[in-house]
Structure formats: C-alpha cells, structure tokens
Structure 1
Amino acid sequence: MAQILLLNGAKGFGHSHGRLNTTLHDHALRVLKDLGHGVVETQIDQGYDFEEEVGKILSADALVWQMAGWWMGEPWIVKKYMDEVFTTGHGRLWKNDGRSHTAPTKNYGKGGLLQGKKYMFSLTWNAPLEAFIDKEEFFGGVGVDGVYLHLHKAHEFLGMQALPTFICNDVIKNPQVEQYLQNYSTHLQKVFTAF
C-alpha cells in the first residue's frame, strides 16, 4: 500500500467552472482507495497551509496533480502552490541547487531530497491529441510531456521521478466525460496496481 497525495488544481475562470477536473480528482480518490492505497488530498483553490503541505509531500510516495491546460500550461493557482510550498520545503524537499563551489557549472538540479518519490500529471485540454503529437500541428510533435517540461523539471529538481501522464482532450469542443473516466480508471490501475 502506498501513500498518495492528490492535488486538485481545478479553478473556476472565464467559461470554465473547474467541474471536469474536480470530477477526475474525485474519481482518482475512489479508484486509488479501491486499490488499497492511503490517499490524502488538497483542494488548492480552497487554500492550504505551507507547512502542512510540505508534511503531506514528505509522507507521500506519489503525488497526483489534477489540472486544466490554460494558455499552454498550468493554472496560476498550481504554480503559486508550487512556488509557496516547494520554497517552504527548503532543507526538507531540497537542500540546494546541486552545484558546489569547486564545480559551479556542474550538477545544477541535483540537490533534491525526494529520491524514490513519484509524481503524475492528470490534465484536461480542449486541444485534440493531434495538436501535441503531430509535427505539423500546434505543438510541433513535442507531445504533452514536452509542453509540460518545466513542471517535470521542477519535480526532478526535488529528486522525484515521473509516472506516465494522463490527458483528456477535446474537453470543450467534444466532451466525452464517461469515456474520460473509463480511460482514467484504466490508467490509474495500470500505474498504481503494483505500486
């Protein structure tokens, strides 16, 4: 049994009310509990205590981030959470940037203290999957993980390792909520059954 921290980055803004991300977050909570894992959660938009969140991260074997793609990245509340909580965790989540005075240009990003911990992104986008994987489309074939390189690197800076990303596409133009939930169940079972 693993300890998993679910981080819900749903945010009502403009035409979005954050319902799909909350639905996926709640679904993950049920699936992971059914798999026998211990699960704690944070609803980021409802507020949080920095020190409590550092404790949750330290106690977790894996973090699962639920968020929408807004203007080519994470909602601002997710970035704010990371800025505040990761910074508060200095000395516990990370010790330094990894460099030394004897080799100031080597090993940047190697000062994390969370080796052995994992993280996963669960994302919702109105963009079709082809926008990420087709070299002739908007993201030039870099894939969803290429679009989220900065967030992957933030976790790597802490010493964490990525689990496979989950993405729901066409969430406004062609929403298929039941299919998303079915696909997410399959993804979570594949990733976390033997975790």
Structure 2
Amino acid sequence: MTDTTPQQRKKILIVTAHPESRSLNAALAAFAAGKLRAAGHEVRLSDLYGMKWKAAVDADDFPDHTADRRLDVLAVSGQATLAGRLSPDIAGEQEKLRWSDAVILQFPMWWFSVPAILKGWIDRVFTYEFAHGPSVPPPYSEGALAGRRALVAVTIGARESAFSDRGIHGRLADLLYPLQHGLFWFTGMAPLEPFAVYDSIDVSKDRFTAVTQEYGRRLDRLFTDEPVPFRSLVGGGYDRDMRLLPGVEAPGATGLDIHVRPRD
C-alpha cells in the first residue's frame, strides 16, 4: 500500500459509463476506487447506468422554467446555475466536481466517442456559469475547474495499431481531443495522458492482471505525472480571433498538435 501523509490525501471522482455491472469497465472502476482508497484518498463513484442518469438536456433540468417561455438552454442554464435552481441530480454532480481534486472518466469507446449517457452527463452537468461563463475564470487558462487533474480511462475493442499515426481509425489523441482539450482543458482541469486498454473484447485473467498492474502504476502517479501541455489562451500564442499565431507551433507540428507546447 502506498504511504500517504494527510497532506497528500486527495479527493477523486470516478465517473463510469457501462450498462453491465460485471463488465471490464466496472472491474477497472472498482479496481481504481480500491487502489486509491488503499492509498488513503477519498473516492466518490458516479455509476451513470446505476444512477439511471437522464442523458438529455430538457426543460426539466431547470425547475423555474415555465412552458410558455422559449427554452434558451445557454441562458436558462446560466440563470439556474447562479440562482442555485438546477435539478437535484445536476446539482449533486456539480457538488462532486467542486469537491474533487481529480476526475477519472471510465468508459468504453463506442463509435469513436463516449457512450451517450456519459455525453449526457457532460451536457447536463457542465452548465453555463458553472463550467464557463462571465462569472467564472476564462477558458483554456485558469478555467472554472482549475487545480484539478483529469484522466480518461478507456477500453477499446480494436487493436492499438489501428489508432496510430497511420492507423485507419485515426490517432487516439485526436479522437479524445474533444474530452482532453474541449472539456478538461477548456474548464481548467489538467488532462493527463489517457490510459487505454486495446483489444478489450475478451480479456483473459492473466491479461487483466497485467492491465491492472499498469493501471495501478498510472494511479500512483495521478498527482505527479506531467499533464498534456496544451497551450494557454492567455499565454500570448493566440490572436484576438483565438487563432494560433503563425510560427508559434513546434517545427513540423500539424493538425491538432499545434495546440500542444513542446515538452522541455
């Protein structure tokens, strides 16, 4: 067991999205929770399927909204957030995020993205004036959720080579960019390199042991690994139109890589 002094104890939220309680994802979430608790950390688990999480944003999310008014989701969600008048399930998840020092998203990759229930968690929980907006720090820099770390733990049925630089599915970094950069970094969280389990359709006991050993090493370094060095919007690299200035990118960098600073 890792020795953890009181000053090192952290609070971790694990959000998992799989309909089967005996799935690989459920086993990995349970392993992570046990590993982190054994190290002295506090852990909360949001099992979205177990919670029967409602995925779709609608007027029910905002109890003060009346049917005779047009539902402007951005404006209404911001008003409800500031007034403390969001539906209880959303408010509860926002409280968990405020409480946390780190967030782990545990999910299977379905159709090159997150399961719909997890997308619905993001859509409903990261409201205007909570995750972004004029009342919170600006995005891609300080961010509303600054000071937290974020880890994607994803299972993928395909082989790893298919997600390489010349792989037919595209690079995993590009597929996860909406989460890593568009959710985590946008809101100020520091995204770590993802933990991915490929060829996950049928994992033997021996391989599961190896997977959890590697996952355990990543969890041990949850608060020490260097995050992905995405560029800050206020760091001088972007113009007023939020476009990267010419020549700022690392030599040879193309595509989404231009938004990552070269590591020292």
TM range (shorter): 0.7 to 0.9
Determine what percentage of the aligned residue pairs are the same residue: 26
Question: Does residue 1:124 correspond to 2:155, yes or no?
Answer: yes
CA pair 160-70 structure 1, distance change in 2 beyond 3 A: same
CA pair 61-108 structure 1, distance change in 2 beyond 3 A: closer
- The Cα of 1:174 is off from its aligned counterpart by 5.6
CA pair 8-177 structure 1, distance change in 2 beyond 3 A: same
Aligned to 1:181: 212
Structure with higher RCO (Cα < 8 A, 6+ apart) = 1
Q: Spell out, residue by residue over 1:165-193, the C-alpha distance to the aligned partner (whole angstroms, 9 max, x if none).
A: 10111011565322222221122113347
- The Cα of 1:112 is off from its aligned counterpart by 3.1
> Does the 8 A contact of 2:192 with 2:225 survive in 1?
no
Aligned length: 178
Q: Counterpart of 1:6 in 2: which secondary structure?
A: strand
Q: Which is greater in Rg?
A: 2
Match of 2:15 among 7, 30, 37: 7
- The Cα of 1:154 is off from its aligned counterpart by 1.6
Runs of 5+ consecutive residues of structure 2 not aligned to the other structure:
1-8, 54-88, 227-264
Higher relative strand content:
1
Aligned to 1:50: 90
- Aligned equivalents of 2:112 and 2:44: distance in 1? 28
- The Cα of 1:93 is off from its aligned counterpart by 2.8
- Aligned equivalents of 2:34 and 2:130: distance in 1? 30
Q: Counterpart of 2:104 in 1: which secondary structure?
A: strand
CA pair 114-129 structure 1, distance change in 2 beyond 3 A: same
Aligned to 1:25: 29
Match of 1:170 among 199, 202, 217: 199
TM-score (norm 2): 0.61
- Aligned equivalents of 2:14 and 2:43: distance in 1? 7
TM-score (norm 1): 0.81
Q: Spell out, residue by residue over 1:7-27, the C-alpha distance to the aligned partner (whole angstroms, 9 max, x if none).
A: 111134xxxx76100000000
Runs of 5+ consecutive residues of structure 1 not aligned to the other structure:
99-106
Q: How well do the aligned residues superpose, as a CA RMSD in angstroms?
A: 2.6
